[in-house]
Amino acid sequence: DTEVTQTPKHLVMGMTNKKSLKCEQHMGHRAMYWYKQKAKKPPELMFVYSYEKLSINESVPSRFSPECPNSSLLNLHLHALQPEDSALYLCASSQEVGVGNQPQHFGDGTRLSIL
Amino acid sequence: AQTVTQSQPEMSVQEAETVTLSCTYDTSESDYYLFWYKQPPSRQMILVIRQEAYKQQNATENRFSVNFQKAAKSFSLKISDSQLGDAAMYFCAYTWGNNNDMRFGAGTRLTVKP
């Protein structure tokens, strides 16, 4: 069982659609992350939220818009995506930002396919 | 630049045998942390083991242990008594200082043969 829950598990959308990916954790973690993982590649960091504030944006295109409504929830809003955005999107959380040895706990990911 | 290199794209091991996965990293930081994550076909990334750079003693978690060679910037993972459930993609990862920007190696796919 994963302590970080991501929904949906699979998403197929057209390039003109607007959709959102959701991530939830109830471990009291104050840092949350979005990663993008292409097939047979390692995860690439997209965003980091610390205490509900965006602390790292790894030059991600504006068609990806993160949101952290509260300390347990992290959303990734998608709009006008491109076929190359098809990937596994992983959410993770850790106790704190600024403490490098904190392990990150990952969800099962959302498999996104752009038509 | 902080980089992580896993030079073995694929490895295989016989059930109950021992296998070692290699990882090297490049850093100028003195305060950093190293991790091994496992990603089975179920997709979830699972922490296997972690090592703080300031600790000389190699980390151990049951059948999993590391050989941390700080001077050589090497951080290999040894899996003893391999089990079928160990089959997965293994990623070596690195963070540094007060930074949570985790950098991953390219991964090693481990196959366990019955």
pLDDT per position as a tens digit, B12-25: 999 999 999 999 99
A18-68 confidence digits (pLDDT tens): 999 999 999 999 999 999 999 989 999 999 998 899 988 888 999 999 999
Contact of B82 with chain A, judged by CB distance below 8 Å, is answered with: no
Q: Which residues pair with B12 in a beta bridge?
A: B111
pLDDT at A102: 79
CA-nearest residue of chain A to B31? A100
Chain position carrying tokens 């809003």: A77
Cis-peptide into A103, omega within 30 deg? no
Contact A23, A4 (CB under 8 A): yes
Q: How confident is the model at residue A99 (pLDDT cuts 50, 70, 90)?
A: low
Q: DSSP letter at A40?
A: T
CA-nearest residue of chain B to A95? B100
pLDDT at A11: 96
Q: With contacts defined as CB-CB under 8 Å, which chain B residues touch A107?
A: 44
